[in-house]
Structure 1
Amino acid sequence: MIALPPHLQVHDDRFLDLVHPMSRLDRITSGLTWAEGPVWFGDHACLLFSDIPSQRILRWSPEGGVSIFRTPSGFNNGNTRDRQGRLVSCRHGTRDVVRTEHDGALTVLARDHEGARLNSPNDVVVSSDGAIWFTDPTYGIISNFEGYRAPAELAARHVFRIAPESGAVAPVVSDFAQPNGLAFSADETRLYIAESGSSHDASVPSVIRQFDVAGATLRDAGIFATLDCGLPDGLRVDLDGNVWSSAGDGVHCFAPDGTLLGKILVPEIVANVCFGGENGRSLFITATTSVYRIFVDAEGAEPWTRSRAI
């Protein structure tokens, strides 16, 4: 049997079907302040990601390396794509969710709820019906490091849904201490949401919660998994239902039943992950000052991670 490299930790033999023992953990760029929000653009063969405090969205490609995509970015954090291939982003500084049109113009999709400004939209996903779901913790308003210090105007830290037809912004979950990363299963019957409130309150459990999806509403299905190191931030789901979550010591991979299969150990605190690459089987990892890449035998549930075109 091939000896495991130091960056792989197996907790269940099924993990060996997902990450080959010869898979290298490559640092593809460094020198960042706080790397976040990775999203793969297969039709352009590039990765976009945020460097939040530096107010930059950066672009990486195998041929061209790293370049500036947008600056200033408004303390941009999470990114995703809609079914038309457009970039959808969360901005802490402007406290909004914004879409980049094909011509480069920006359209603000959400900035307030019932007359009160949003806290600081953090992460975002788009379902196949065009609805946009995003988390709204207070990380961008509790200091000037990744936003602008300001009092919260909302009574809770909601998870919101933007209706595809009307654009109406409505809360779907309101009992998180700090809702963070979120990801749908491939069939969109389940939504996973990270609870990262332990960042400022040790009494908050470091858990990923799961919700059954019924149209525009969510039903709490309990705790999916508890992290044993650090807290969950960004996460993704693969086609087989495995959940890949950021953690304090790297990336934790959980089976659909919540069993910890294994870890990809990373020498920096991981903020987020996404699938992509030429064959859709690279896992990109944003980790504090760096971005890493590793080959995995899994494909992301998001459709653009499996093809060069939407």
Structure 2
Amino acid sequence: METAGVCPDAVTFVGVLSSCANLGAVSVGHEVEQRIESSRLGLNPFLNNALINMYARCGNLVKARAIFDGMPVKSVVSWTAIIGGYGMHGYGEIAVELFDEMIKSGIRPDGAAFVSVLCACSHAGLTEKGLEYFSEMKMKHRLQPGPEHYSCVVDLLGRAGRLNEALELIKSMQVKPDGAVWGALLGACKIHRNVEMAELAFERVIEFEPTNIGYYVLLSNIYSEAENLEGVLKVRVMMRERKLKKDPGFSYVEYKGRVHLFLAGDRSHPQKKEIYRMVDELEALVKKLAGCKDNEEREKQRSFNWYGCS
């Protein structure tokens, strides 16, 4: 676009920042921020919201919070972005405090804001607080929960081991549950090794997403942990019949503006020797630290037993 002589505006920068947030490309996002400042667009609330979202999702909560605190006027989008950032990285207590502060400031939460705070409660294990917000959403703020809110609450209950309550909630939904709702229950069954309920959730979720390979793998892992080899075989046959193939796992890291992609067992990177040498050193360090911790626990147990015998 720039080569063609077209000058980027605020809308352009919002789009690029959104892409940076999705990719975790924080250094590129920082360059965009500098371009915004040089273009004298820094006071644009849409750009500030996009910057908060980008930095928060990339893990730089200090920078995201600084931009948020510096905004003279904060909209519900601003609050939602910062709440979601803290919740995403496990700071549920801070996310809850910000949500309550938003309401006290006179900002009326919308559906997206409730998704952010419910997810934050789920990741932080704040089960009762999350249920309280869900109730307030309907009773106090007169907002009708959608499938996205129910999936958050199912996840909230599921992580806490309250699987039966999660299932009853799904049955009582005033809107039709979608794949995300049943997928949240399936994920909870994996955590708590509930094979029977996992089979029920799987049957429902593949009605909505029959080609989502992740759900098949999830059920297979549940069967595997339960040592149900017949179940594992059944899932593999189902995948073969539907011509579904699991893509290899991958991760990526951004360094100096370049994204480095790594597949499982990948040895194509030009610095593969240095990378795997560092991985080996880290694994050895983890084992050493784990061994030290085990030794400490055994020593404590020996001391306990000795005092108990005397």
TM-score category of the 2 structures, normalised to the smaller one:
under 0.3
* TM-score w.r.t. length of structure 2: 0.25
Larger radius of gyration: 2
More strand by share: 1
Return the structure number with greater relative CO, CA threshold 8 A, min gap 6.
1
> Normalising to structure 1: TM-score of the pair?
0.25
